[in-house]
Amino acid sequence: MHDDVPLRRRTLRRRSLLQAGIGGVLGTGALAACAGGDGPRRTDSVRIILGHGAAPGNPRSDGALAFQKLVAEKSGGDVEIQILGQEAVGNDTEMMVSVAAGTLDMSINSQGPFSTYVPEAALVGLPFLFESSAHAYAVLDGDIQGELAAHAEEKGFHVLNFWDNGMRDITNSKHPIEVPGDVAGLKIRTPDDPMTIDIFGQLGANPTPMAFGELYLALRQGAVDGQENPVVNIKSSSLQEVQKHLAVTGHKYEMNPFVMSTTRWQNLDADVQQVISEAAAEAVDEQRRLMTEQTTEIYAEFEATLEVSHPDRTVFREATHPVYERWQAEFPDFFDQITAAADDVRADHEEESA
Ligand code: TK8
């Protein structure tokens, strides 16, 4: 029976039938096959819902589309990724809750909301830990990802990989930022991220956590003076329209954890898991490539359209040093691990360019 069907595709179909009983979202073909009791049919499918918070044209959004296409190709159309972007199924914090509960299959989420479950992840955003996104990839893709993924698994998240949310800069509507003292007194929106709140509190700002989707209006109405994000996110959500000053501080790096509900993951056939892992590995490369490309273009554009300052980072690093001390005291082992890894990669780069 079914000798004409390649093994891999046959397994995918059989497994999708099993999922009908576990609450997976299924195509009608599978239901018909169940009802008819005459075995798997061509129309059986596994459908997986992927939520994210980025705007169309953002590398995260385009990377999600690349992932969707790769999964379709690799599974011969048997596995379908349905994307719900731009906070359509909740903001980052809400999507993390849904993935943990298993009511949302996957999310390309953000570092802060992820750190609610895996507190160590916030340390990826230690101020001035990384000099560039490339520096961060070299550190994160090694043992650090494994370590954070192990913690995440206990909380109900299977980590596929870490996408790039970029190096973060500050925008505001009040005045140019040249020295740390210029940040003091500004009402700055932050993500739901304890590290960012700590950094901006240390600088004397009034950090105001808020969902990303509410940010444009809050800036336009003056509910907050400014915000901090990579220029790619600023541009794809048009925040430059409602901000006057950009300070290229590169004060912290963030990754976007690509997570799947552990129960949903474990209930997938090994073949489907492999398709998803491979597609995620290829999609992250594409997303990082788009980030690099867009970042350069957008900096050039903003130099012409915004009041741009390039503060001395050494001064900002010194001003935020107490943040290091606090997080080191709280997570001594992971602090040592990530700062040592960052130093090693920096030393390698310096050696190469010497
Ligand atoms: C959008 C957010 C955004 C993040 C933030 O989903 O909240 O500032 O940088 O990318 O994840």
Kindly give the distance from the C-alpha atom of residue 228 to the centroid of ligand 1, in angstroms, as a whole number. 10
Mean pLDDT over 196-204 rounds to: 98
Phi first, then psi, for residue 192 (nearest 5°) are -75, 75
Q: Which is more confidently placed, 171 or 142?
A: 171
Question: Mean pLDDT, the chain, as a whole number?
Answer: 90
Q: Is 44 in the pocket of ligand 1 (CB under 6 A)?
A: no
Pairing mode, strands 25-26 and 46-52? antiparallel
Kindly give the distance from the C-alpha atom of residue 232 to the centroid of ligand 1, in angstroms, as a whole number. 11
Do residues 205 and 187 touch, judged by C-beta distance below 8 A?
yes
Kindly give the distance from the C-alpha atom of residue 286 to the centroid of ligand 1, in angstroms, as a whole number. 19
| Rounded Cα distance, 144 and 148, in Å | 6
Q: Is 75 in the pocket of ligand 1 (CB under 6 A)?
A: no
| Rounded Cα distance, 37 and 149, in Å | 40
Q: Classify 252 as helix, strand or coil.
A: strand
Q: Is the pLDDT of residue 56 over 70?
A: yes
Residue 224: per-residue pLDDT = 98
Residue among 108, 110, 255 whose CB has most ligand 1 atoms within 8 A, to mutate: 110
| Rounded Cα distance, 54 and 66, in Å | 15
Residue 82: per-residue pLDDT = 98
Phi first, then psi, for residue 49 (nearest 5°) are -95, 130
Residue 33: per-residue pLDDT = 37
Do residues 1 and 260 touch, judged by C-beta distance below 8 A?
no
Mean pLDDT over 222-242 rounds to: 98
Burial environment of residue 97 by CB neighbours within 10 A (0 to 12, 13 to 18, 19 or more): middle
| Tokens matching residue 116 | 């609610």
Q: Any idea which residue has 């006057």 for tokens?
A: 244
Q: Is 229 in the pocket of ligand 1 (CB under 6 A)?
A: yes
Q: Any idea which residue has 């195509």 for tokens?
A: 27
Percent above pLDDT 70 for the chain: 87
With cut-offs at 50, 70 and 90, classify the pLDDT of residue 44. low
Q: Which domains does the chain have, with CATH numbers?
A: 4-353 (3.40.190.170)
User: pTM of the predicted model, to two decimals?
Assistant: 0.87
Percent above pLDDT 90 for the chain: 85
| Rounded Cα distance, 151 and 144, in Å | 11
Q: Is the pLDDT of residue 234 over 90?
A: yes
Do residues 53 and 85 touch, judged by C-beta distance below 8 A?
yes
Q: Is 250 in the pocket of ligand 1 (CB under 6 A)?
A: no
Mean pLDDT over 11-34 rounds to: 38
Q: Is 191 in the pocket of ligand 1 (CB under 6 A)?
A: yes
Of 34-43, 66-75, 123-132, 223-232, where does mean pLDDT reach its minimum?
34-43
Element (H, E) at 270: helix 270-305
Q: Dump pLDDT digits (tens) for 306-351.
A: 999 999 999 999 999 999 999 999 999 999 999 999 999 998 888 8
Element (H, E) at 188: strand 187-190
Mean pLDDT over 37-52 rounds to: 70
Residue 352: per-residue pLDDT = 82
Element (H, E) at 96: helix 92-101
Q: Dump pLDDT digits (tens) for 119-149.
A: 999 999 999 999 999 999 999 998 999 999 9
Residue 240: per-residue pLDDT = 98
Residue among 254, 259, 294 whose CB has most ligand 1 atoms within 8 A, to mutate: 254
Q: Is 59 in the pocket of ligand 1 (CB under 6 A)?
A: no
Q: Which of 116, 108, 207, 99 is nearest to 165 (CA)?
A: 108
Q: Which is more confidently placed, 29 or 194?
A: 194
Residue 198: per-residue pLDDT = 98
Q: Dump pLDDT digits (tens) for 78-125.
A: 999 999 999 999 999 999 999 999 999 999 999 999 999 999 999 999
Kindly give the distance from the C-alpha atom of residue 191 to the centroid of ligand 1, in angstroms, as a whole number. 7
Q: Is 228 in the pocket of ligand 1 (CB under 6 A)?
A: no
With cut-offs at 50, 70 and 90, classify the pLDDT of residue 24. very low
Q: Dihedral sign for Cα 236, 239, 244, 246, please.
A: negative
Which ligand 1 atom minimizes the distance to the CA of 191?
A: 7
Residue 353: per-residue pLDDT = 78
| Rounded Cα distance, 217 and 230, in Å | 18
